[in-house]
Structure 1
Amino acid sequence: MHKVIVVEDDRIIRRGICQAIPWGDHGFIVAGEAGDGEVALELIEKEQPQVVVSDINMPFMSGLEMAKQIKEKSPETRIIFLTGYEDFKYAQQALKLKAFDYLLKPVDSEYLLKKAKEAAAEWEKESVKEKRIIESLPLLQQKFFQTLIREGDYRVDVENELLALDVQMEGPFYAVLLVRNTIELDLEGHFFKEKITSFTSSYFNELPCLVMNADVGEYTILLSLENDHDSRKGELAQALFNYLSKEIDNSITITHGRAYPNLFEVGKSFLEARVAMDMRHIMGTGRVISLDETVSKCNQKAEHIQDLEMKFENHIKSGLPEKANETLMELSTAIIDRKTVPLADLKVLALKFSTMLFFEIEKWKKEDSTDRFNSSVVYKDIMELSTLTEMTEMLHSLIEQWYTAMYKKKEKNYYSHVDQAIKYIQENFHDSSLTLQKVAEFIHVSTPYLSNLFKIEKGFNFGDYLLELRMKKAMELLGEGNIKTYEVCEQVGYSNPQYFGICFKKYTGFTPAEFKKKFK
């Protein structure tokens, strides 16, 4: 049965609606009635009805004010307003509040019942749709993270994918925690996720976070942080570990990546947490592990090897691939001579330097969409290392990629994909059909890749750049004085003069006519 609540200050009309209409014969139950909006709100919050039939003009609290609050307390409830001709002026406000319908008194009982059934049917349809979305969301989340692991964050438009999953975080920095229950049964999954969500949401009341399904028995916690050194990430990880270890008699491992200043870079933090999780059999399960901890473990070596590691690290930081290659050979020889470096330590060593080389390759090669460095593949290779020779060959290959990317960038006639895109936009901004996809196709890269590259390299997105370019040209043309607004509109890439006018006023604070009069 669907619930209906009737709100009407006229007692006779209210009783007539409640009793004269055979609600029960048509799948409804009258869950309550009220003479004003204040009383009705308490009923609505308690009963969560599918349909509210309300007068629009009542004492104490009007139907319109009540509707605003209903949207907060019971957002799915459908509202049917009743009013007389003298109050028809409220119709527009009712539409803005997305009321299901607006009926004039005296309303026919059969017609009101018909509208209530339509409202309930719409509620039912949306409810089923929302239920399907909620049920499929864990699978969609898993698919996103599996794609991120497989493709790497440079091939996935992370920001748009997260928005499609209804993920909206405040920032300004973002980081990922990865929680794994090593002996979890499928039936316990929902229970385990609820435990994580309940604890994280209450531990730091002011810390925005979201728990998502990463894999079977594995969950991602996306955090909004104040800066890249925000200590609350580590505090939450340890506190959550302590809580889950007491609540669940299984082996819990929690890892976390670094914090990044853009939502579209949160993929890096996830991959770092993923790498740390993959190292759990080396670092130890049933504990909290950070990527920084896994790389710092490499410092527990003999003095000579430690000196060579530091030398190798300095060559990478100084941008000297040839020297780094020479030192790698020295390091390999020193490890062979010592003969007591465990395979686990070699993997951690490989992780440390592959991570450093990864960032160098990204820095020099980020404009090139071909032969991109895929960190997830390299991390998988590290897990499968079985000899020192394999480690040396892998690091040597990364140094070669770094060297090639660096000197290709330094060639005189070389410039990035973003530079190419900007040049194309500057030459074609007058084209009203110009889109990011069109620009990406012209320079032979994917749309998500170009979108991310704009943000990373230039600090702004495609839409903002195109808008600024068009508005500056429009201001220049209008300043000349002897030109029609519609002509300016066409010359800067807008097919709709009204839309151009809206954009122009939002950008400059003036309508085109006002700007022309003031600045010509």
Structure 2
Amino acid sequence: MYTVVVADDEAELRRSLIERTPWEECGFQVVGEAENGMDALEQVERLAPDLLLTDIRMPFLSGIALAREVREIRPAMHIAFLSGYDDFTYAQQAIEYNIISYLLKPISSQELARELKTICAKMDKHWADLAQSRAERLHPHDFLMPLLLGADTALPPEAAEKDLARQAAECGLITDEELPPHFVVLATEIEDGLGRVCTDRAHVHAVETITEKYLRSASCLIGGRVLTLVAAGAHDIGKYLHIAVSEITQSLERVVGGRCTVGVSREIASLSGCHAAYREAVGALHYTSEEGAGETRYIADLEHARAIRSDFTEAAAQLEGLIKGGSTDQLTGFLDTLFGGFQTGAHDPLEIDLMMVQLLAAVCRSIGAVVDPDAAGALWSASPLSGLSFSCRSPGELKEKMTDFCLRAKEAITDQCRESGEVLCEQAIGMIQSGYGDESLSLGTISEKLHISPNYLSALIRKNAGDTFINLLTAKRLDTARELLTCTSLKVMEIASRCGYSDQHYFSYCFKKRFGISPITLRRQGGAEEGGQG
């Protein structure tokens, strides 16, 4: 049974449709109704219906504007327009927002029932197509998998980048018109109702179906995760990426009845950086909380861009290869270049320690694979860490020390994430408190100033403030308006404008909905002189 919210400013018609239409026979259950676009948007955010049936012309927020806003917060939801205006312009705009049906007034309950059955069938097919595995089709797997996993190449860096661009163009990932493209890697992990990872090839198709609606992309299955490379201009990535990943989590959770989490890498400008982006996307998944539904995790929201470098895997792999098969000049040249980056002193000592551990591990792997144990022991005695042997300690002591160190590290990371989230939430609330009079103030504008994603900021506000961003902003605006109405003689229109409302009628509607009394009535009761109602 699909859920539906019905929005129409004609109360009599709205009630008639709700009461006389056999919703359950058509596969639907009405969970909410709204008399204007703003109320409809609030109900969509709160109730998360499967379908929004809305009039195209309504007060405060038109059906077209409503569809645009809904696509930001519930991209997986279906929308049907109901309108008395047989206007092709509106139909064209409806197509832009992927409207499932366009119905014309007047419409009887019997006609609506027939249309609802058609809509239900379309929705059934949509979800079945996402869940259904299909025959193998042409995928750029031969290009994508080694790109993400970091396969070696014998080409110099500039030539390697050109070769990757050529292959990406052959796969249709980039075109001449989109150059220079930017790239982002997504890692999608799906769990069933018992918390077991259940990602399979059918989900690769489902993710591709969604991402290709917004951006050029290619996906493959690696290690129980769908890995997706997104390629587009920086503007398009900024505009559509958060919508696409939100739709992935919403849609796949419905299909599998479990949990879907998406890790998102930082934006990069070269294909040669895709392996590092892949590691970022997978790393972002590790931060996901174990409670509640799946979510989207942007690595840029969770880790500092200039954090201490701790991953020298590629350097270690290069060193291992040079020890096994490189020339002496190549080996010494590599080490000169690697350590040369630390000569300026502008580095964290911990980085050198971490690099040394990983480089020594690579040397030990090379030695252990070929050299006999006695010779390996002699070589180790000449290593920079020969005096720090762990073998003199018992396994129990090592386990105790390592466990203590790991638990301390985990606690430090958890505390830092919590403190950072609380600080960001406080900053956002501070911006609401100071900027509520700006009509353009939104979750997007604040997240941009804080340099985090809207999805992450929204989750932080819900967790730390216990309410949604729009509710906090509305409360601040209306509480301030009530104070101005009772303590000043400013015109109602001026108060509305100062509180971020350009439409006085909408301001009055919101005010009465919150306080149960109109601004004019409150003004009279408060005894302040009305210097003109405006």
Give TM-score scaled by structure 1 length.
0.35
